[in-house]
C-alpha cells in the first residue's frame, strides 16, 4: 500500500473508527456467533453462517484500516507554499465557458466530500490544478470533455 497524507483531524477520525470496530463491533459479532452456536446444529444454522460472514467482513475492514493508518502520514500545513496549488490548497476557479465560480479544497482520497467542496487530490480536476498558481489558465480533461478555468485565488 502506498503512503497517503492526511490532516491530523482526518487521521484521528480513522483511528476512532478503528477503535470502534475493535472495541464495539468485534465483541457484538462474537456475541452473535455465540448465540447462534447455542441454538444447535451449525450445519443448517443460517444465523451462525450470517454471523461468521459478518465477522469475516469486519476483520477485513479492521485489517485494511490498520494498514491505512500504518501507511498514513500527517501533512504539515505550515509548510504549504500557498503560491502554488498543492494538497490542502483551497482554490477559487472561474469556468471560462459559463463564467461560473467554484471553490475547492484539495484533500486526500479518504477525506473527499464534494458537498463540502473537498475534492480528491487524485481527481482529474485536482491533477490538472497541482503546481499551478493564481492567474493561470488551465485546461482540464474530465470525462465530460475539456474544462477551461482561470485560477482566481489560492489559499491554505
Which pLDDT does position 73 carry in this prediction? 84
HSE-CB for 134 with a 13 A CA cutoff: 11
Domains of the chain: residue spans and CATH: 4-74 (1.10.287.180), 77-155 (3.10.50.30)
The pTM for the full model equals 0.64
Q: Which of 118, 121, 125 is nearest to 141 (CA)?
A: 125
Low-confidence ranges of the chain (pLDDT < 50): none
**Considering Cα of 96, then 106, then 87, then 126, what sign does the dihedral take?**
negative
Q: Which of 123, 144, 67, 129 is nearest to 92 (CA)?
A: 129
Which pLDDT does position 1 carry in this prediction? 62
Which pLDDT does position 110 carry in this prediction? 79
**Cell matching residue 26:** 468485534
Which pLDDT does position 149 carry in this prediction? 96
For 78, which DSSP code?
G
Amino acid at each position: 500500500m502506498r503512503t497517503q497524507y492526511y490532516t491530523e483531524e482526518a487521521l484521528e477520525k480513522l483511528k476512532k473508527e478503528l477503535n470502534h470496530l475493535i472495541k464495539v463491533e468485534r465483541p457484538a459479532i462474537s456475541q452473535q456467533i455465540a448465540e447462534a452456536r447455542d441454538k444447535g446444529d451449525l450445519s443448517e444454522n443460517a444465523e451462525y453462517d450470517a454471523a461468521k460472514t459478518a465477522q469475516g467482513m469486519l476483520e477485513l475492514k479492521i485489517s485494511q484500516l490498520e494498514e491505512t493508518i500504518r501507511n498514513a502520514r500527517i501533512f504539515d500545513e505550515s509548510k504549504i507554499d500557498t503560491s502554488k496549488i498543492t494538497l490542502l490548497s483551497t482554490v477559487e476557479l472561474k469556468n471560462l465557458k459559463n463564467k461560473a465560480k467554484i471553490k475547492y479544497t484539495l484533500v486526500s482520497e479518504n477525506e473527499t466530500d464534494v458537498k463540502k467542496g473537498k475534492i480528491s487530490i487524485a481527481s482529474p480536476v485536482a491533477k490538472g490544478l497541482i503546481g499551478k498558481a493564481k492567474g493561470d489558465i488551465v485546461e482540464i480533461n474530465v470525462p465530460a470533455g475539456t474544462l477551461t478555468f482561470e485560477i482566481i485565488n489560492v489559499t491554505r
